[in-house]
């Protein structure tokens, strides 16, 4: 009988720890979402990809076009005026000795802000998501799909605090 209570108590502790860790993450998501409020336009910037990745079929230009199309389809306004925020996409890859590629994808929104203390202006990340994984050389379309999933998350967050275009 006592063992059952201890196990139940242990489960409660685990639940409280998980909930305690999840609440700050949810609060961070809410803060990041709010930082997207009143952005008028989004400018898509995709970093250069390595030559071997481009040769295998995943090109910077193709990725940029696909992202822009997805944003347009979802009603996120595109542009490159001084009021635009940058949706910055970085796909880093590393070819391992087994022939698999490790990848790290980072999608962030960079906005021009004024630093309160000295009134200097700087571009800072105000929203970001990342993903890591591995893929074979013939499967770089999976990397593109991960990028588009992150962009979809951005679109949802953007549209939750802004009227559709």
Of the listed ranges 10-19, 79-88, 138-147, the least confidently predicted one is 10-19
At 163, the pLDDT band (50, 70, 90 cuts) reads confident
Mean pLDDT across the chain, nearest whole number? 85
Higher pLDDT, 130 or 27: 130
| CATH number of the domain within which 79 lies | 3.30.160
Residue 57 lies in a domain: yes
Residue 4 lies in a domain: no
Decide if pLDDT at 130 tops 60: yes
Residue 14 lies in a domain: no
pLDDT at residue number 113: 86
Q: What CA–CA distance (Å, rounded) separates 49 from 61?
A: 10
pLDDT at residue number 44: 97
- Helix (H) / strand (E) element for 144: namely helix 140-161
Q: What are phi and psi of 58, to 5 degrees?
A: -100, 105
Best mean pLDDT range from 6-15, 17-26, 29-38, 94-103: 94-103
Residue 139 lies in a domain: yes
Residue 127 lies in a domain: yes
> Considering all CA atoms of the chain, what is the largest pairwise distance in Å, rounded to the nearest integer?
69
Residue 29 lies in a domain: no
Token digits for 78?
């595109």
Pairing of strands 42-46, 85-95: parallel
Residue range 42-100, pLDDT digits in tens:
999 999 999 999 999 999 999 999 999 999 999 999 998 877 999 999 999 999 999 89
Residue 23 lies in a domain: no
Number of domains in the chain: 1
The residue segments making up the domain with residue 126 are: 35-161
Q: What CA–CA distance (Å, rounded) separates 21 from 23?
A: 6
pLDDT at residue number 165: 58
At 2, the pLDDT band (50, 70, 90 cuts) reads very low
């Amino acid at each position: 009988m006592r063992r059952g209570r201890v196990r139940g108590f242990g489960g409660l502790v685990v639940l409280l720890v998980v909930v305690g860790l999840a609440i700050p993450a949810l609060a961070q998501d809410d803060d990041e979402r709010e930082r997207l409020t009143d952005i008028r336009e989004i400018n898509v910037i995709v970093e250069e990809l390595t030559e071997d990745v481009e040769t295998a079929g995943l090109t910077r230009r193709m990725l940029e076009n696909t992202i822009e199309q997805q944003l347009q389809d979802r009603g996120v306004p595109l542009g490159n005026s001084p009021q635009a925020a940058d949706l910055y996409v970085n796909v880093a890859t590393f070819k391992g000795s087994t022939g698999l590629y490790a990848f790290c994808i980072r999608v962030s929104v960079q906005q021009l802000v004024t630093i309160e203390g000295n009134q200097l202006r700087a571009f800072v990340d105000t929203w970001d998501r990342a993903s890591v994984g591995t893929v074979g050389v013939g499967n770089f379309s999976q990397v593109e799909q991960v990028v588009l999933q992150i962009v979809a998350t951005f679109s949802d967050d953007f549209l939750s605090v802004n009227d559709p275009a």
